Each structure stands twice: as structure tokens, then as C-alpha cells.
Amino acid sequence: MSNRIWKILKENGIKELRPPQKKVVDRGLLNKNKNFLIHMSTGSGKTLIGEIAILNHLLDQKYKSKKALFIVPLKALASEKYEEFIKKYEKYGIKVALSIGDFDEEEDLENYDLIITTAEKLESLLRHRVEWIEDVSILVIDEIHLIGDSERGGTLEILLTKLKNRYNIQIIGLSATIGNPEEFAKWLNAELVIEDWRPVKLKKGIAYKNRILFINEDGDVVEEYTLTPNNYNSRNQLFNLVVDCILKDGSLLIFCNSKRKAVSESKKLNLKKYLSPDELNELKKLKEDILSVFDNPTETCKTLGECIERGVAFHHAGLTYEQRKIVEEGFRKKLIKVICCTPTLSMGMNTPCRRVILRDLKRFSNRGMVPIPKMEVLQCIGRAGRPNLDPYGEGIIYIDGSITVEDAKNYLTGPVENIYSKLSNHRILRAHILGLIASGEIDNKKNLEEFINNTFYAHQYGNTSKILKNINDIIEFLEANKFIKIDYKDDNKNKNDIKILTLDENNNITISHKKTNENYTITSLGKRISELYIDPLSGKIIIEELKKLSKKLERYNNKYLNTSDLKDYCTQYLLYSISKTTEMMPLLRVRNNEWDYLFKEMLKMDIDPDEDILRSLECFKNSKMFYDWINEVPESKILEKYGIEPGILRYKVEQAKWILYANKEIYALLDIEEKCLSDTLNELVIRIEYGASRELIELLKIKHIGRNRARLLYNSGIKNGEDILNNHERVIKLLGNKITDKIINCIKENKK
């Protein structure tokens, strides 16, 4: 390893490499032409191995113009890594960038050395044909086992297939849980390094009847620990496990199988009597931080604040980014002693603790209650044990009667599940085949099949007939919807045609010809849908609904004499139509007592339900939530009315913003000229982002003015930029000197 790399490591507190890190370096990590699959325990220092490999490229004078990519599974984790790498490496001249924005966003990443992103965002950048990809010499993928994830795995697989075959890039994959690492490493053409060393010993245990049975890798009990609940007078065994840990200066993560369960468990725990006066004061400050995330605290804010005041918090996708950051920081400072969470927290977030408790081993799915994969369980318990702070970590499965000791032992011993390719998923394939054709990487049937033969799917299953059948169906779908054109350029048609004999229901033989040499060309519509990074099926839905709405508006010009009323109808219909896209799944659940009134409202709006009436009603309910949002219904009322959490609402609004933008872009390519529709789309993109009424749009176009400031100004008679310039003193009284100056400077700049 070069002296410069060592100098940087030492200045960042790394005095020596841990045994597994040294092992990887000795096995050739610094050979820039050698891929690695690093299979090591959580907390063993896998990330630093990736960082050393990155420094090896970026500090090499021969690789002066080279770039490094660091891929993580979550935007929140990308932000965390960005902040960490900025502090560690920018002082050495390494320019660090974070790329997690909109898929169609223009980003200038040309002058950055280290780019932190997600697989989905990087895939969308490649579709925009970014030139700097040619300069990338190393790719580090954290949590690479997610290639087996049913939702995100296909994107990661396509991305790796592209990069490992087309570009001269060193690939470093990091994971703690792969059941078939040899098979996966062979596909990656990577050196496999397996190491179970941990900086802090992990004790695996099963808790029941106020006892913890710690077991070895064979499942034998090696230690029996009895709790002393008399010290804390509780019949709640989970509470006893918590207090037992914090009395020894430890902290805990309790993993639950749902957001609701995480909140419920948090509300049951009250640790006030075990906290010092200073800790209680600091927790009150954290509570105030939570309550001030929104102008008007939601019920979730209030519940979370009350839990935090007692030394406990919950953490799940329903929280906003700001709320999660406050909880994570409070936990790292050991003010919050316990976080009740969902398994998302196990995906690399920096939240180590003394004790991890698995509250549930099953969770609800569309197939009912199903077992949680062992891979996920081990990811969770791997959080236990804080280096330099804990003498050991404890990963405990809690038994409350729903499972047996033997069930728990099976989770804690033996290998994890194998990872399997999820590329055969029709929805994933649709989007990526269109993307491959749009980017020019695939232009005929032959090289499409060659690409598929290089995937992990082909490597794993050998027989690609099923996936090739899916691909033929998708190609036909893309052509039928005019996203691609197919040209048959056969020199000798008879020679290159395949005769297919089939029997009809009357046993008559029919002969059809299948062309073997198909050439693909992307259309302008297909290219734009690919760049927008939406499911081509969603593109089809958008096109159909825009055309349908355009015809309705032609008929309604006389019905709605008021332009505002016509726009309002158009708005409601668009919100319904975007709710039909696959990106909006899962939809809001429709209760039995809501069927009648939702159905009647749909008919009143001249919306014909699809064959699947329940799904149409779910789409319509979803659209009503968005309609409330853009008409400034208080967020707390929306959350209560639709039974969702703030983080879920924010996520759905972000998705709606993106799909509305896609509507606007696709509309521009269609042969439709409908002013009301065009104007409404332009307005909706702004209204959905800010959750604001139409009358505030002119103010919202001005930088530094959000919904609350816009409403304050509008209610005072200030409706646009000119009004702001002409009422300087009044604006200062409403918003203050500092922000008023910023707003006025922006207005003047725009005028120039």
C-alpha cells in the first residue's frame, strides 16, 4: 500500500488494518484489474476496504482523470456516506459528489472524483449517456446481496452486467449475508474473500421466561443468563430485557415486523426512572426538535416526541428524513437508549448498539404472514456490538409463544439463503430492455440475447428460455405502443425465417414465420420514457389517459363555462390517472364503508372504473389525497383522514411530482393541443411539490418562497414578484429583513 494511502488512513484514526482488511490487501486488492467479492461480518470494516481501493485509484498519478463510484441501497445512507467522505477526503483534494436527485435532473458530475449514488440513479445517468462514465475506473457496491431483492435486484443486475462487460472497471462488492457467494463471485469474475472475524464478539441468544440462552454455531447452549426483574418490577419480559441492558450502560435496537408494531412497542417502554437529570434535559430538547420539524406538529411528531422524552424512539419509513436524522443522532449520543424499528435500519446505517432484539420472525405480505429471511435476521443482529465501546454484542431472538426455541435456533445457526436473480420479473425487464435500446447498447435481437446470456440470471439457471419468452412478449409490447420500431433486414427471407407449425382448436395446422434477425430503433417517445425512468406500462397508461382526458375536455368546454372549474376537473382527473401507474403502488386501502361514496363520486366525475373495480377505487382514493394536499388541507388532517404517516405522504408526493412531470414531458410529444390540459399540467407540477392552491403559483416560482410564506404574502395582498418589489416594507414586516433581501435579489436576477 502506498505511503500516501497510509498517511490518509492514519490521519483519519486508522492505526492498523484489522485482520480481514489485511487479508484482502494481501490477496491483491491494490491490483486495479482484479474484482473482489468481500463476504464479511457486519461491523468488521468492509467499507474501509472499499475506501482503500478507491484511494488506490484516485491517488495514482497514472489515473489522474479517473473517477470512483460508491453505490449504496438507500438515499439516506448515500447522504450519510457523503457527509462522512467529505470530512475524510476533500482535504486531500478528492472532490466528492452526491447524486440522488430526480432521474431527469441535469447534473454536472464531470469534475468530481468520487460519486456516491444508488443503483437506480446510476442506471438513469447511463440512460442519459453521460460521457464521464468512460472515466470511471472503480465501482464499490455496498450491500451487493440486494441483487436478490425482488424489487431492486433487477436494476442492480442490469447495471453490473453493463459495467462488467463493457467498461474496464474494478468491481468491489461488499456483503455480510450471501448463501452462495462462490456462485455469485464466479459471475462477477471476482476474487472471493470470506471472513467471519468481528471486532466485537457477537453472542447469539434466545430470550424467553426472563432467561437468555446463548448458543454456539451448532445450536448448543453455552451460557444461560437469568434476568432479575425484581429490580425493576415488570411482568413485561421485553421491558426486562431492555432495562437489563441499559443498567449496564448498553443501548438496544428492537426490530419489529411493521411500522405499527414499532410504534406500539415504543409506547410501552418508559425509561425515565433509569435516566439521569442531564439525560432527561437533553431528551426534552430532542423532543422539541421533533415537534418543530413541521410548522404544526403531526400526531406522529407528538407520539415520537413523547417516546423520546422517555428515552425511547421508533424508526421506520413513515418518518421524514429530518425525523430519522434526529432519532439516529440521539441514539448515537446514547441519549435515546432504545429504537424500535423495521429492518430498513439494518441496511448499513451507522447505529451500532450493545443488544439487538428480534421481536418478530414473520411479517405480513400479499401471501399472508411469511417468515422473514434468515439473511435479513443476521443483517439485523449484526448491528450488535459497538467497537471500542462494548465488550461484546448480543443478538437475541425474543420468543413470546408464536415460535419455538428450535425455530429460533434455526435462524441463528447454519448458512443463510442463496441469492437468486430476480431479472425474470416482467415489470423490471420492461423498463430495462427499453433502456438498453434507448441508450444504443442493444440494437438487434442477437445482441439483446447476448446481453441476457451475460446476466446473473443466465449464469445461475443456464436455461434462458423462460426469460427469452418474456423478452419476446416485451419487445412486442414496446413495438405495439410505438416505443420502438422493428426492422427485418434479412438478405434471404426464406433462409432466415423460422417456420412455426401450430394446431388450432380444430386440429388444423397453421404455418407462421418468425424472423430471426430483428433490428431495433428507439422512437422519440420511447427514448423520453426511458430517460424519465418510468415503467413503459406507466408510459402507456399516461398516453392513453392524456388522450382520453383531451377528448373529455373538448366535450366539456360548454359544460364548464368557468375556466377555473374546467381546470379543477382536469386537475382531479390527472391526479386519478397518475394513481393508475405502477410507480404509485402500493395504493391506499379502500375500506368496505367507502365503496359506495367513492364509486358515486367517480361516476359524477365521468370516470369509468376499470374491470378491476377495487383497484379503480383505490386509485381514486389516492387521487383524493393528492387533491387535498394541493388545496392546502393541513397535513395533520390528511394523515388522519387517510391513515398514513408523514414519511409515507412525503414519499407519495415525491412520486406524484415525478409522474406529473413525466405526464408533462410525454404530453409535449403527443399530437394533442389542449390549452387547459397543458396549463393544468404546468401548474400541477408546482402545486404538488409545494402542496399549494393555484392562486399561489406566481409566488412559488420565486426562490426562497415556500407554501407558508406564499400564503402569508398572498393573504396580505402580495400576489407576485412585482407586488413584492412595490411593497418592500410590508414584506419585511411579514418575513423579516434577511429573507426579504434574498427574495428581492432573486427577483432582480430573474428580471436580468
Q: Is residue 670 part of a domain?
A: yes
pLDDT tens-place string over residues 308-350: 999 999 999 888 888 999 999 999 999 999 999 988 777 766 7
Q: Which residues pair with 215 in a beta bridge?
A: 204, 221
pLDDT at residue 438, as a whole number: 94
> In this structure, what CATH number is given to the domain that contains residue 451?
1.10.10.10
Domain of residue 447, residue span: 426-528
pLDDT tens-place string over residues 122-132: 999 988 888 89
pLDDT at residue 501, as a whole number: 57
> 546 with 671, same domain?
yes
Contacts of 693 (CB under 8 A, 6+ apart): 630, 631, 632, 687
> 181 with 226, same domain?
no
Q: Is residue 519 part of a domain?
A: yes
pLDDT tens-place string over residues 548-561: 999 998 888 766 66
If phi > 0 it is left, if psi is from -120 to 50 it is alpha, else beta; for residue 643 that is left
Which one-letter DSSP state was computed for residue 400? S
pLDDT at residue 668, as a whole number: 95
Task: Say how far residue 523 (Cα) sits from the centre of its chain.
Answer: 29
Task: Say how far residue 154 (Cα) sits from the centre of its chain.
Answer: 14
Output the nine-digit C-alpha cell for 307.
417516546
> 245 with 351, same domain?
yes
Helices (H), ranges, 442-583: 445-453, 456-461, 465-480, 493-496, 524-531, 536-556, 563-578
The phi, psi pair for 308, rounded to 5°, reads -60, -40
> 679 with 628, same domain?
yes
> 390 with 513, same domain?
no
> 58 with 129, same domain?
yes
Highest mean pLDDT, choosing among 32-41, 344-353, 639-648 = 32-41
Helices (H), ranges, 631-674: 635-642, 646-667
> In this structure, what CATH number is given to the domain that contains residue 10?
3.40.50.300
The phi, psi pair for 674, rounded to 5°, reads -135, 105
More confident residue, 558 or 482: 482
pLDDT at residue 493, as a whole number: 47
pLDDT at residue 494, as a whole number: 46
Q: Which of 229-233, 435-439, 633-637, 711-715 has the lowest mean pLDDT?
A: 229-233
586 closest CA partner among 365, 340, 324: 365
Greatest C-alpha distance within the chain: 89
pLDDT at residue 561, as a whole number: 60
Rounded Cα gap, residues 591 and 127, in angstroms: 41
Do 81 and 72 touch, CB atoms closer than 8 A? yes
Which residue, of 412, 443, 460, is where some domain finishes? Answer: 412
Q: Which residue has the cell 421491558?
A: 239
> 592 with 615, same domain?
yes
pLDDT at residue 298, as a whole number: 82
Sheet containing 312-315, strands listed edge to edge, beginning at the edge strand earlier in sequence = 221-226, 211-215, 202-208, 393-398, 355-358, 252-255, 338-341, 312-315
State the pLDDT confidence band at 491, using cuts at 50, 70 and 90.
very low
pLDDT tens-place string over residues 247-305: 999 999 999 988 889 999 999 999 999 999 999 999 999 999 999 887 778 888 999 99
Do 425 and 222 touch, CB atoms closer than 8 A? no
pLDDT at residue 293, as a whole number: 85
pLDDT at residue 495, as a whole number: 46
Q: Is residue 596 part of a domain?
A: yes
Rounded Cα gap, residues 260 and 241, in angstroms: 21
β pairing state of 355-358 and 362-365? unpaired
Q: Is residue 374 part of a domain?
A: yes
Q: Is residue 561 part of a domain?
A: yes
12: pLDDT strictly greater than 50: yes
> 445 with 365, same domain?
no
Which residue, of 503, 528, 553, is where some domain finishes? Answer: 528
Q: Which residues pair with 35 in a beta bridge?
A: 190
Q: Which of 144-148, 467-471, 575-579 has the lowest mean pLDDT?
A: 467-471
512: pLDDT strictly greater than 60: no
pTM score, whole prediction: 0.87
Number of domains in the chain: 4
Average pLDDT, the chain: 90
Do 636 and 295 touch, CB atoms closer than 8 A? no
If phi > 0 it is left, if psi is from -120 to 50 it is alpha, else beta; for residue 249 that is left
> 123 with 252, same domain?
no
> 154 with 30, same domain?
yes
Rounded Cα gap, residues 546 and 548, in angstroms: 5
The phi, psi pair for 724, rounded to 5°, reads -65, -45
Output the nine-digit C-alpha cell for 646.
408523514
> 190 with 260, same domain?
no
Rounded Cα gap, residues 117 and 123, in angstroms: 10
658: pLDDT strictly greater than 90: yes
pLDDT at residue 368, as a whole number: 75
Neighbours of 670 (CB within 10 A): 14
State the pLDDT confidence band at 509, using cuts at 50, 70 and 90.
low
If phi > 0 it is left, if psi is from -120 to 50 it is alpha, else beta; for residue 606 that is left
pLDDT tens-place string over residues 205-248: 999 888 999 999 999 999 999 988 766 667 788 999 999 999 99
User: 379 labelled as ligand-binding?
Assistant: no
pLDDT at residue 218, as a whole number: 92
State the pLDDT confidence band at 469, using cuts at 50, 70 and 90.
confident
> In this structure, what CATH number is given to the domain that contains residue 630?
1.10.3380.30
Do 481 and 475 touch, CB atoms closer than 8 A? no
More confident residue, 231 or 306: 306
Q: Which residue has the cell 402542496?
A: 691
Q: Is residue 494 part of a domain?
A: yes
How distant, in Å, are the alpha carbons of 82, 94, 269, 383 from that of 88? 10, 9, 38, 23
478 closest CA partner among 441, 508, 438: 438
Average pLDDT over residues 94-114: 88
Which residue, of 510, 528, 546, is where some domain finishes? Answer: 528
498: pLDDT strictly greater than 60: no
> 18 with 102, same domain?
yes
515: pLDDT strictly greater than 80: no
pLDDT at residue 178, as a whole number: 93
Rounded Cα gap, residues 180 and 188, in angstroms: 13
The answer, yes or no, to whether the previous bond of 373 is cis (omega within 30 of 0) is no
357 closest CA partner among 185, 497, 236: 236
The SS3 call for residue 461 is helix
Q: Is residue 563 part of a domain?
A: yes
More confident residue, 319 or 103: 319
Q: Is residue 681 part of a domain?
A: yes
pLDDT tens-place string over residues 593-609: 999 999 999 998 888 88
Q: Which residues pair with 518 in a beta bridge?
A: 488
